[in-house]
Amino acid sequence: MATSFPPLQALRALEAAARRRSFSRAAEELHLTHSAVSHHLRGLEEQLGVELFRRAGTRMIPTAAGAQLAERVRHSLDDLRDALDAARRGTSSTGGAMRLELSAMSDFLSFWLIPRLGGFYDQHPQIDLSLHMHAEIAPPDPYAVDIGIWHRRVDEPGFQIRKLLDDQVIAVGSPALLARYPDFRIEDLPNLPLLHFARRSWRDFFEAAGLQADEPVRGPVFDDAGLLLQATINGQGFATARLQLARDYLERGELVQLGHVRIPASLDYFFTWREGHPREAAILQFYRWLKGQLAS
């Protein structure tokens, strides 16, 4: 006799609870009640005859059987999503375009990646990207997207993580603003209008430049490096910026580097994807293209 198939909602509850380590968070994600998720998972355990979760404090930790099943369900849901996307496009699941969900830091996405994506699509017309902007230091739920480009490593097992580059920070300003100070010297910088990045200190740059100056207390503060760079291009003040993000604007003359001092960037970019992802070949194509662009 054929074994009865568990309800799809129960399998989705298993996958979400294993990933979130919480029945309550799984319920929020699936728009269910906590009791509904518990009911689904108890029924699944009874049907399979194995324990799928154990409580550890406030967290629900999947057992070995639960973790293994959740990973298989995750792959199956990915395959099902691909099949549904292909059906909507009127193509087969193995032909036509393939869509990858990409989450990236807002500054990297806006000022470096998007201006170059046309070249990627020219080389890989079979791959479509859905772009999601991320602004927090901590990464989001890594299971929710196919690719992450984030400042922090993912603290979850089963992920491949690659550091993208070793970047440097320089001081920059717009040519129009710099023209207001025709006798500019790097020693003048602490007394000029400065823009602040909430996650970077001017003091580090001053020390590297050999300047005896305290951290400025005046000037606008930005918690997003992309917005800071845009304000700098618009001539609102001088700022420190990642060389990789500012490079295109320096080459086009929209920004000017102040002096020759460079300091290491305090935040890295990490390229992240799930091991054994059903679209891993496409993910690696994008990764290789990305590394090639950074190297050039």
| Pair (179, 235) in one structural domain | yes
Inter-residue contact 176 to 235 (CB < 8 Å): yes
| Pair (75, 116) in one structural domain | no
Q: What is the pLDDT of residue 57?
A: 87
Rounded distance between C-alpha atoms, residue 107 and residue 245, angstroms:
8
Quick one: how far is CA 141 from the chain centroid?
10
> Domains in the chain: how many in total?
3
Rounded distance between C-alpha atoms, residue 44 and residue 73, angstroms:
13
| Pair (161, 48) in one structural domain | no
**Hey, what's the torsion of the CAs at 45, 47, 50, 55, to 10 degrees?**
0
Q: Quote the domain boundaries for residue 141.
A: 97-165+268-295
Q: What is the pLDDT of residue 230?
A: 95
| Pair (15, 41) in one structural domain | yes
| Pair (245, 210) in one structural domain | yes
Rounded distance between C-alpha atoms, residue 151 and residue 223, angstroms:
14
Residue 214 DSSP one-character state:
P
CATH of the domain at 260: 3.40.190.10
pTM to 2 decimal places: 0.73
| Pair (218, 101) in one structural domain | no
CA nearest neighbour of 55 among 22, 28, 87: 22
222: its two tokens: 């930005």
Q: What is the pLDDT of residue 278?
A: 81
CA nearest neighbour of 199 among 265, 269, 271: 265
Inter-residue contact 172 to 257 (CB < 8 Å): yes
Rounded distance between C-alpha atoms, residue 222 and residue 228, angstroms:
6
Amino acid at 116: R
CA dist 252 → 155, 209, 223, 249, 255 (Å): 39, 26, 26, 5, 8
Consecutive 10-residue runs of the chain (296 residues): their mean pLDDT?
76 90 91 93 93 91 90 83 69 63 94 95 94 93 92 89 94 97 93 94 94 89 93 97 94 96 94 89 95 90
Q: Are strands 239-242 and 98-105 parallel, antiparallel or unpaired?
A: unpaired
Inter-residue contact 120 to 289 (CB < 8 Å): yes
Inter-residue contact 121 to 285 (CB < 8 Å): no
Q: What is the pLDDT of residue 94?
A: 46
Q: Strand, coil or helix: what is 100?
A: strand
Inter-residue contact 6 to 44 (CB < 8 Å): yes
Helix H or strand E segment including 272: strand 270-274
Q: What is the pLDDT of residue 92?
A: 46
| Pair (78, 204) in one structural domain | no
Dump the DSSP string for 140-151.
--GGGSSEEEES
